[in-house]
Structure 1
Amino acid sequence: MNPTSIPYTWSGFKSLHNSTRRLISARFLRSIAQGALAVDFTLYLRARAWTAPEIGLLLMAAGLSGAVLSLFIGIASDQIGRRLFLLIYEAGLTLGTALLLINHSVWLLVLIAVLFGFGRGANGASGPFAPAEQAWLAQHIPSTIRGSVFSLNAALQFWGMGIGALLSAYLVHLLPGETGPHAFYPVFFLNLVIALINYLQIFTLKETPINHGSNPRTILKTDATTTKSTELTTIVENEDLLRKKENRALFLLIIVNSVNSLGVGLIAPLLPYWFSVRYGVGPEAIGPVYGLTFFLTGASSLLVGKLSQKVGLTKSIILPRLLGVATLIALPFMPTFTLAAILYIIRSIVNRGSMGARQAFSVGLVRDQRRGLASSLNSVSWNIPSAIGPAIGGWLLGMGTLFWPFLLASLLQFAYIIMFSTMMGKYEPQTHTSLP
């Protein structure tokens, strides 16, 4: 095993820890199911006569509940382990989706959608349990290749989302003679099957205990008269300084992430609905566009992973996003669906391609025993603003305003570029090497 090799080949991937490989595989499968829902869920709600503001409120509720749960789950996972939480997620998703297929209650739909984030296009993330998953994934990855491994993980997620998006165009035609909401049931069945497979994957996986180390404060209190008390006092002081540095970095990350996620949430979850209203297209047209987008974004993620090895995570995150802002503000002015789709694809390639690098950056701000906390704060700072975004965007779209959500989103994402560069650059983890 070579722990410093870039895992973009089969041999490089096999050199990763078994837990790392299995978690990446599970997330890839999950992203296929979520890719289908990313296209079809808002269209399914529209088929059930939901309005844009109602859809936006549902997506907001899903984001807010996920943010609250993820904070507690991430912190708890640092103490009792991460495997249990992923098993709970997959079991709950299996049961909840099965209930949706046999019970058409609006309140059951709302409950399951809120708990598991249906339609939010989470790129394979395990809902509010994602902080536990992300911390577990980072546990066995050396810092020198963390950016590359997380970028590979992101690329596979995007490709899975692409497969799901392509499937979304055909799943709605699987049931002969079915139209309206019932035509979308194969999409939910796909989610059920994949959740069951992932439950079995994680159930058979062993978790390495988290190394919390000894607590020097406890030793000082119980054995303060020993000759090592001075050394322990120094250790405690160094620990306090290190925690303060980590806490400050996490606080700034929360601020920066919140600006970005609000900009993304304003329009991204509602884009299938917007395409349908603006150009009169359905899953048959939207699904292939989303599929191609995710496939190309996956390739972009691999390129960003390689770029992070050469120039560092910060530059590999902020530079491509400038083009993303320009394409986003131009998107609503496109006269045809084809031109709008081209701009959407370009924006996704340059914007989402840095997702793995952003994840690697956040978990690299702290040590292993605090990565659940870091992942939780990263998730909360993303989910709360991005949850508010669809409610605002849905309200604006419901008023017939098809441009303003894009303008507001562009301004916020430009502000994110400036803030990330100036506020987070000095906290860059050592994840790159001087490659030729």
Structure 2
Amino acid sequence: MTPNPHRDLALINTAGFLRSFGVGLMGVVLGIYLFRLGLSSLEIGFVIAAGLAGSALATVIVSFAADRVGRRRFLVLLSLLSAVGGIALARSPSLPVLVLMAFVGMLNGTGTDRSAAFALDQAVVPGLVSDAKRTWSLAWYNVLLDGGGSLGALGAGLPILLQHQLAFSVLSSYRVVFFGYSALCLIVAVLYSVLSAAAEVTNPLAPAQTRARIAPENKRVVAKLTALFSLDAFGGGFLTDALVAYWFFRRFGVAEHDLGLVFFAVHILNACSHVGAAWLARRIGLVNTMVFTHLPSSLFLMAVPLAPSFKWAVVLFLCREALVEMDVPTRQSYVAALVKPSERTFASGITNLARNLFWAIGSGVGGVMMQILTFSAPLLVGGGVKVAYDLLLYRSFRSLKPPEEAGAATPTKDMAPTKRAS
């Protein structure tokens, strides 16, 4: 198929939006549906954990094999497997079968798209645009993901709508929604299937070289970035939407409806901040944008437990959310800039895998801290960990510039920045 980068970018953005819509929907209805099936909290945890484990394994496989087998093939396969998860939920098999199908279908109950396809998209998008447009393209990609996830969360009211409008039973209405989720995954697979050759690695390496995945001179940089991103994700695990909403509920007695409005505003600010990040990065650089927006966001967060009222706590929290996501497209762009195009799938997969694992660890530790220390401990400790991440990132990478900031010509397919991290 003739390379068509502009068309491919539109296809990936559309596929990402639809996939994120499904993830946002699942994040709200999955646990409730499993509870209605009669599963215990422990069994629900097993199903969700199986889905996350399947996603983690898929990310590992993508990191090492996608460029050799074909990025388009992997994206199609991942989408088809996701459809299996929806079918399994609709059919309501026994628990062992459901756990197995959740693993195979990579069911995502977190409400946030951090799938293997998400990691692979990040490797493909930078190769479809010039260095100057890389950050902007990733910013719009993330805007669409946030928008899709927000609309998917709103779509969680579909089962209730089906009950009232079409007189479906409770479980039947959920099953219709899950069949719809599977159909959505099939549409995403179709979109990925028509990607052109531009989505693949240009001039792929020989098989032996491909298995090595990354040039020795880039290994230290990727390893250091992975370690720093893991620290950031560990701090972020203390601050999941569910935990923060629970904190507001317990601290100020806020009703679920009001919290829903707060978190809707949060997602809107997150989406807008992606575009703001691309604009700012063009003026002050990727690393500066990552650090100088993320650092104050952490300080705002640490101030939230000190707020004397719900109003001031929300103001501080929204200030945090207006800044905290600015490092997402800039981080993705920076990783893509520091490695060769043929190494982007590996770098994206490994950094995303590490972030997901440490995010999960942080979530567990945050709950324990809230139980045995102080109720506000996750906000204070999570914010502190993120401050440490920002300072370490700036110290290590402030002098390592991507090609568009170094004033160099656009690199060839085998070039990467030559300056190394301190």
Same fold, TM exceeding 0.5?
Answer: yes
Q: 195, 202, 205: which is aligned to 2:192?
A: 202
- Alignment match, 1:10: none
- Alignment match, 1:166: 154
Question: 1:402 and 1:152 mapped to 2: Cα distance?
Answer: 37
Of 181-190 and 98-107, more deviation after overlay is shown by: 181-190
CA deviations on 1:320-355 (whole Å, 9 max, x unpaired) are 112221232234556776655544433222111321
- Alignment match, 2:326: 353
Is the contact between residue 159 and residue 174 of structure 2 (CA under 8 Å) also seen in structure 1?
Answer: yes
**Which amino acid is the alignment partner of residue 265 of structure 2?**
L
Question: 1:268 and 1:184 mapped to 2: Cα distance?
Answer: 25
**Which amino acid is the alignment partner of residue 150 of structure 2?**
G
- Alignment match, 1:225: none
**Which amino acid is the alignment partner of residue 219 of structure 2?**
N
Q: 84, 109, 127: which is aligned to 1:119?
A: 109
Is the contact between residue 64 and residue 346 of structure 2 (CA under 8 Å) also seen in structure 1?
Answer: yes
Distance 1:433-1:182 versus aligned 2 partners, 3 A rule:
farther
Deviation, structure 1 residue 418: 0.8
Deviation, structure 1 residue 135: 1.6
Q: Equivalent residue of 2:161, what SS? A: coil
- Return 5+ residue gaps in structure 2 as ranges: 408-422
Deviation, structure 1 residue 399: 5.9
- Alignment match, 1:314: 287
Matched, 1:407 2:380: yes
Distance 1:247-1:139 versus aligned 2 partners, 3 A rule:
same
- Alignment match, 2:415: none
Question: 1:106 and 1:387 mapped to 2: Cα distance?
Answer: 23
Matched, 1:76 2:65: yes
**Which amino acid is the alignment partner of residue 151 of structure 2?**
I
CA deviations on 1:220-269 (whole Å, 9 max, x unpaired) are xxxxxxxxxxxxxxxxxxxx9x9333111101101101100111122315
Q: 131, 135, 141: which is aligned to 1:153?
A: 141
Is the contact between residue 163 and residue 291 of structure 1 (CA under 8 Å) also seen in structure 2?
Answer: no
Is the contact between residue 32 and residue 162 of structure 1 (CA under 8 Å) also seen in structure 2?
Answer: yes
Question: 1:304 and 1:23 mapped to 2: Cα distance?
Answer: 21
- Alignment match, 1:3: none
**Which amino acid is the alignment partner of residue 191 of structure 1?**
Y
Is the contact between residue 56 and residue 393 of structure 1 (CA under 8 Å) also seen in structure 2?
Answer: no
Is the contact between residue 34 and residue 118 of structure 1 (CA under 8 Å) also seen in structure 2?
Answer: yes
Question: 2:242 and 2:67 mapped to 1: Cα distance?
Answer: 34
**Which amino acid is the alignment partner of residue 63 of structure 2?**
G
Matches within 5 A, 1:181-260: 188-189=178-179, 191-208=181-198, 209-212=200-203, 243-260=215-232
TM-score (norm. length: structure 1): 0.77
Distance 1:50-1:272 versus aligned 2 partners, 3 A rule:
farther
Question: 1:214 and 1:49 mapped to 2: Cα distance?
Answer: 49
Of 353-362 and 422-431, more deviation after overlay is shown by: 422-431
Question: 1:128 and 1:317 mapped to 2: Cα distance?
Answer: 23
Is the contact between residue 16 and residue 118 of structure 2 (CA under 8 Å) also seen in structure 1?
Answer: no
Is the contact between residue 36 and residue 164 of structure 1 (CA under 8 Å) also seen in structure 2?
Answer: yes
Of 328-337 and 140-149, more deviation after overlay is shown by: 328-337
Question: 2:388 and 2:47 mapped to 1: Cα distance?
Answer: 27
- Alignment match, 1:368: 341
Question: 2:308 and 2:170 mapped to 1: Cα distance?
Answer: 28
- Alignment match, 1:12: none
Of 178-187 and 93-102, more deviation after overlay is shown by: 178-187
Question: 2:180 and 2:225 mapped to 1: Cα distance?
Answer: 35
Query: Sequence identity, in percent?
Result: 23
Matched, 1:305 2:278: yes
Matches within 5 A, 1:38-77: 38-41=27-30, 51=41, 62-77=51-66
Matched, 1:176 2:163: yes
- Alignment match, 2:416: none
Question: 1:104 and 1:214 mapped to 2: Cα distance?
Answer: 44
- Alignment match, 1:237: none
Is the contact between residue 235 and residue 383 of structure 2 (CA under 8 Å) also seen in structure 1?
Answer: yes
Is the contact between residue 56 and residue 395 of structure 1 (CA under 8 Å) also seen in structure 2?
Answer: no
Q: Equivalent residue of 1:426, what SS? A: coil
- Alignment match, 1:87: 76
Q: What is the number of equivalent residue pairs in this alignment?
A: 393
Q: Equivalent residue of 1:119, what SS? A: coil
**Which amino acid is the alignment partner of residue 70 of structure 2?**
G
Q: Equivalent residue of 1:118, what SS? A: coil
Is the contact between residue 62 and residue 387 of structure 1 (CA under 8 Å) also seen in structure 2?
Answer: no
Distance 1:59-1:49 versus aligned 2 partners, 3 A rule:
closer
- Alignment match, 2:397: 424
Distance 1:273-1:189 versus aligned 2 partners, 3 A rule:
farther
Matched, 1:97 2:86: yes
Distance 1:191-1:407 versus aligned 2 partners, 3 A rule:
farther
**Which amino acid is the alignment partner of residue 139 of structure 1?**
G
CA deviations on 1:279-318 (whole Å, 9 max, x unpaired) are 6667644444333322222111101101111111111111
- Alignment match, 2:25: 36
Distance 1:109-1:312 versus aligned 2 partners, 3 A rule:
farther
Matches within 5 A, 1:244-283: 244-268=216-240, 270-271=242-243, 274=246, 278=250
Is the contact between residue 64 and residue 387 of structure 1 (CA under 8 Å) also seen in structure 2?
Answer: no
Is the contact between residue 53 and residue 106 of structure 2 (CA under 8 Å) also seen in structure 1?
Answer: no
Q: 110, 117, 123: which is aligned to 1:129?
A: 117
Question: 2:180 and 2:314 mapped to 1: Cα distance?
Answer: 26
Q: Equivalent residue of 2:163, what SS? A: coil
CA deviations on 1:346-376 (whole Å, 9 max, x unpaired) are 3222111321111111111111111111111
Deviation, structure 1 residue 131: 3.0
Deviation, structure 1 residue 404: 2.0
**Which amino acid is the alignment partner of residue 148 of structure 1?**
W
Q: Equivalent residue of 1:364, what SS? A: helix
